[in-house]
Structure 1
Amino acid sequence: MAVYHRTNLTMRQLAPLFGVSPATVCRVIQRLGPLLALEPARAPADAAAWLWIVDGTLVPVRDRKVGASSSDYRFSANVRVVVDAETRLVTAAARPVPGTTADAEAWRNSGLAAHCEGATALGDGARTTTGLIVADVSRAG
């Protein structure tokens, strides 16, 4: 499962790596994939003491219903995640939106803002109008 999700290889490419047929790879992924899905972590009572990082990335996809042609001319989906800064574990993730969606718009429509209520959440410069604390990443000189 990890190889499939981390490398973006097709089932046909994975089959020879494990000495099985592409159909077997498909069955394993379909059977085990849903077991990896976790419910979003609940914010504890002292959520104000927590530091969360909000970020997003473009994930290449083949499904044209989910993705859109991005700046690099590949079909991709824009995915938002909230990560606990201390443990580096994902506490919440939003449903993917087309890759052409602006970061701030994807954040506002994701529903993750409600998940971050009461916690200190950091974002990058693309989220200046979203109510998050934005880290200053300007270069000296």
Structure 2
Amino acid sequence: MQVIGIDQPAWIPTFTGLSVRQFGKLVSIVRGRGAEQTGAGRRWGLSLDDRVLLVAVYYRTNLTLRQVALLFDISKSAAGRVVDHLGPYLALSPAMRKHSPDTVLIVDGTLVPTHDRSVSASSKNYRYSTNLQVVIDANTRLTVAIGKPLPGNRNDCRAYTESGVDQDCSGAQVMGDGGYQGNREVIMPYRKPTDGSELPEWKEELNSVHRRVRARVEHALAHMKSWNILRNCRRKRDGVWHAARGVALMRNLVMTH
């Protein structure tokens, strides 16, 4: 018996973190991208609404596929096929336009523990993780871009360009912490002089403003990690990236609808 379904809307906020209205918008986005099954071929056992719900539940709870399959009364392999198929549809679209010079973006990296050793490495959290570069709009606080996952031992200064988010930030003013040394387009706080002297008062004031603004990306990362798949991701290869972008899309919906 199917325990969770679109015909039981009371479960949607509990298992997805989205309101019923926000979830409806998510389904509309996925349907508009062409995820609805058309033409010949074996039909899905679940409707598109229920398949989107399955992926949202999987991302929010980080239950195993076997556990999610039981909730939807399907096999583990069928649940895996649903996640693999809808993952790219249920993801934040990459930035396709050049930003105006007035736009201020904030970038930061976060470590996502990941089982797939081909995209992860032992890192400072003592686990095999990926370095995920996340960019938000400083004004709206919405997620703008998610970089390609890189091994967790990769520094932010390299990950910024190697993950591709530098292209997503093209044309905008970009803020980051002191870990982005070497990327001249990133606005970083002033460092203390090497001779041990104190910073001038005006530089300390600017650093204080920088910290207050940059804290917004820390709040965004904490919000994104309320979707538990970013605390221990079992997806492989591009599945890690699709999951992170899916979480980013759902977080944006929570903030705007």
2:34 is aligned with 1:5: no
Distance 1:34 1:110, change over 3 A: closer
Greater Cα offset, 113-122 or 55-64: 113-122
**Match among 26, 31, 34 for residue 80 of structure 2:** 26
Structure 1 residue aligned with 2:163: 110
Structure 2 residue aligned with 1:95: 148
Structure 2 residue aligned with 1:121: 174
Structure 2 residue aligned with 1:49: 102
**Match among 15, 20, 31 for residue 69 of structure 2:** 15
Equivalent residue letter for 2:179: A
Task: Please state how far the C-alpha of 1:108 moved relative to its aligned partner.
Answer: 3.0
Aligned residues: 137
Mark the runs of 5 or more structure 2 residues left unpaired by the alignment: 1-54, 190-206, 212-257
Mark the runs of 5 or more structure 1 residues left unpaired by the alignment: none
Deviations 1:28-81 (A, max 9, x none): 21221121234322345x611111111111111111111011122211110112
Distance 1:70 1:8, change over 3 A: farther
Percent of pairs with identical residues: 47
Deviations 1:70-115 (A, max 9, x none): 1222111101122112233322222111001111111132332233
Structure 2 residue aligned with 1:81: 134
Equivalent residue letter for 2:182: T
Give the whole-Å Cα distance in 2 for the aligned partners of 1:20 and 1:114.
41
Give the whole-Å Cα distance in 2 for the aligned partners of 1:57 and 1:92.
13
Greater Cα offset, 111-120 or 12-21: 12-21
Distance 1:101 1:8, change over 3 A: farther
Conserved 8 A contact 2:132-2:146: yes
Name the SS of the counterpart of 2:160 in structure 1. Answer: helix
Give the whole-Å Cα distance in 2 for the aligned partners of 1:111 and 1:29.
25
Greater Cα offset, 15-24 or 114-123: 15-24
Distance 1:109 1:34, change over 3 A: closer
Structure 2 residue aligned with 1:36: 90
Distance 1:70 1:127, change over 3 A: same
Name the SS of the counterpart of 2:58 in structure 1. Answer: helix
Name the SS of the counterpart of 1:9 in structure 2. Answer: coil
Distance 1:134 1:3, change over 3 A: farther
Name the SS of the counterpart of 1:14 in structure 2. Answer: helix
